[in-house]
Amino acid sequence: MKTPVMNAYEVRNADYAVVHAESEVDFDQFIQVLNIQNGEKVIDVGGGYGSIFIRLLQRQPHINFEYDLLDGGMLQLRKGEERISALLAKHNNPSAIRYLHQDATQLNLNGNYYDLVICKMFLHEIPESCKKALIDSLFAIAKPGGRLVIWNPDLEDNDYKFYTSVIRKKDELAGYESLVQNRHFLLNRDLYNLMESAGFTAVQKLLTFDYHLHTVNRLNEEFAGDKEKLQAWNDYILQIAEELDVTTRQSLKIIKQDDNIYINFKRGVFSLQKPQV
């Protein structure tokens, strides 16, 4: 019998804003797209430690709504509860918060309940075999007329193989076995097809962000300061970058400087709607 591997998110105690070089400008735009209103019911699926809620409350300290933070990692939820509780107390904010420890491939939630379902950098954490069932579940929990907003890698044919290979090698070096086994990234067209198959309509890409990948940002956050692992990752990236066509290499703006490799990938924000009955 194959021994189950530990959920990497029970040990991966990273600051993802640092890891992914996410800017406050990106979050400003994302929160505008979310357009959360007082009294709405919102769920953040695979929301980790609640970075979206934290940033929202920093910008709108008096907003009052129901927020469910759902994640399969207890470490992430505990970190989120600590930070969110402090922020709620600081702003005397009455929003109702629930912390839901659930495997997203086996959601146990009320149907037709949420005004807004959020998936930020999460869909790729789910194995390919579970993708359709998950997206069907997201459709089921949204209210008629409710929305799903996704922040996802913006992947097309030209950069898909390179991106997925870069991330997989990092996970291997960091010892994140569950991520190596389970992660499956979606091409944009496959994302659209799955969403439309589930019943979502009005599928559109609202935003495109530059994703400034700096390999050195992972040194302390994911490689525990091990410079040999960082060097191995850098060497691998430079090796597979040779397989890229000239146009793609230029668009990715790959730069090697000292212990760091910079790559300009893209991320997109996609909006979908559950039709009214």
Query: How many structural domains comprise the chain?
Result: 1
pLDDT at 21: 65
Residue 93 near residue 120 (C-beta atoms within 8 A):
no
- Give the pLDDT score at 113: 98
What Cα–Cα distance (Å) separates residue 265 from each residue in 87, 180, 201, 260, 268?
A: 32, 20, 27, 15, 10
CA distances from 21 to 71, 110, 158, 228, 251 (A): 22, 35, 23, 22, 18
Nearest to 87 by CA among 112, 60, 107, 121: 60
Please indicate, yes or no, if residue 17 is contained in any of the structural domains: yes
Contact 184, 124 (CB under 8 A): yes
209 sits in which H/E element: strand 201-214
Q: How far apart are CA 257 and CA 108, in angstroms?
A: 48
Q: Burial of 62 by CB count in 10 Å (0-12 exposed, 13-18 middle, 19+ buried)?
A: exposed
Give the amino acid at 84. Answer: I
**Do the domain assignments include residue 252?**
no
Q: With respect to residue 225, please indicate whether it lies within any of the assigned structural domains.
A: no
Residue 231 domain-assigned?
no
DSSP 147: E
Residue 253 resides in a domain? no
According to the model, what pLDDT value does residue 14 have? 54
| Tens of pLDDT, residues 50-108 | 999 999 999 999 999 999 999 999 999 999 999 999 999 999 999 999 999 999 989 99
In a domain, 39, yes or no: yes
What is the C-alpha separation between 242 and 71, in angstroms, rounded?
38
* Structure confidence at residue 23 (pLDDT): 84
- The residue segments making up the domain with residue 104 are 8-155+184-213+265-273
Q: 224-251 burial, b if ≥16 CB within 10 A, otherwise e?
A: eeeeebbebbbebbeeebeebeeebeee
pLDDT at 53 (0 to 100)? 96
pTM of the model: 0.90
Using CB atoms within 10 Å of the CB of residue 35, give its burial: 0 to 12 exposed, 13 to 18 middle, 19+ buried.
exposed
How much is the CA Rg of the chain, to the nearest whole Å?
19
CB neighbours of residue 24 within 10 Å: 11
CB 146 within 8 A of CB 37: no
Strand-pairing partners, residue 204, are 271
pLDDT at residue number 19: 60
Low-confidence ranges of the chain (pLDDT < 50): 1-6, 9-11
The CATH number of whichever domain residue 143 belongs to comes to 3.40.50.150
Q: Is residue 240 part of a domain?
A: no
- Within a domain: residue 232? no
The SS3 assignment for 169 reads helix
Residues 6+ apart with CB under 8 A from 6: 177, 178
pLDDT of residue 90: 96
